[in-house]
Amino acid sequence: MGFFDKKPDEEPRTEIASTPKNAMDTSIRPRRDCECYIADGVTVEGKITGSASVGIDGEFDGQLDISSTLMIGESGTFTGEIKAKDVVISGTVKGNISADNLLEVHPTGNIRGDIFAHRLVISDGVIFEGNITMSRNHSPEPVSAPEPTPDEEEPDGDLDPISNY
């Protein structure tokens, strides 16, 4: 039946669009989706390097430097420095994160540290304390303030700039 063929007493139908396929999936599955897995109830300290994806539902304290994906589940806790291609967080991170491609933080995510990423997705409800730097160069080197020019330098002596008016 076309639009003009509807009966006068019939209400127009409103269709609700489905969630787009590229919308963020809030249920991550580190155990199923990662090649290296730290289970809930397991605590690991040290350094992880390599090209395999890593999933954490337990606790990790140390450094991680991988050329793949890091997934931290809701029960996962990471304390230390993270460097990975992609990082997906639903748990807690205390430390700096450097994502060469994408950092995605789900509603249950909690980050206390600085973020360096090319692309960033932060869901509503995330707890974040730190700084964000977004660029193609993810070097987490501190940025210093530029040196003042001679015109910007403060005058010698105890001059009060307000009393000059």
Instruction: Compute the half-sphere exposure of residue 38: CA atoms within 13 Å on the CB side of its CA.
Output: 26
| Helical spans, DSSP H, in the chain | 30-33
Percent of the chain with pLDDT over 70: 63
Higher pLDDT, 37 or 135: 37
Structure tokens at 115: 């973020």
Question: Range of 116's domain?
Answer: 34-134
Cα gap 22→120, rounded to integer Å: 15
Q: Give me the mean pLDDT over the 23-47 stretch.
A: 78
- Is there a domain that residue 3 lies in? no
Q: What is the pLDDT of residue 135?
A: 84
- Is there a domain that residue 56 lies in? yes
Q: Residue 89: enclosing H or E segment and its boundaries?
A: strand 77-89
Band of residue 7 on the pLDDT scale cut at 50, 70, 90 = low
What is the number of structural domains in the chain?
A: 1
Whether residue 21 is predicted with pLDDT greater than 50 in this model: the reply is no
Q: What is the pLDDT of residue 15?
A: 40
- Is there a domain that residue 112 lies in? yes
Structure tokens at 106: 């789900």
- Is there a domain that residue 110 lies in? yes
Cα gap 8→158, rounded to integer Å: 85
Chain segment 112-159, per-residue pLDDT in tens: 999 999 999 999 999 999 999 998 765 555 445 456 566 655 555 555
- Is there a domain that residue 121 lies in? yes
- Is there a domain that residue 62 lies in? yes
Cα gap 111→98, rounded to integer Å: 13
**Type of residue found at 19:** T
pTM passes above 0.85: no
- Is there a domain that residue 43 lies in? yes
Q: Tell me which residue of 133, 123, 44, 52 sits closest to 80, measured CA to CA.
A: 44
CB 79: neighbour CB atoms within 10 A? 15
Q: What is the pLDDT of residue 105?
A: 97
Cα gap 72→36, rounded to integer Å: 12
Band of residue 74 on the pLDDT scale cut at 50, 70, 90 = very high
Q: Tell me which residue of 30, 84, 82, 41 sits closest to 61, measured CA to CA.
A: 82
- Is there a domain that residue 11 lies in? no
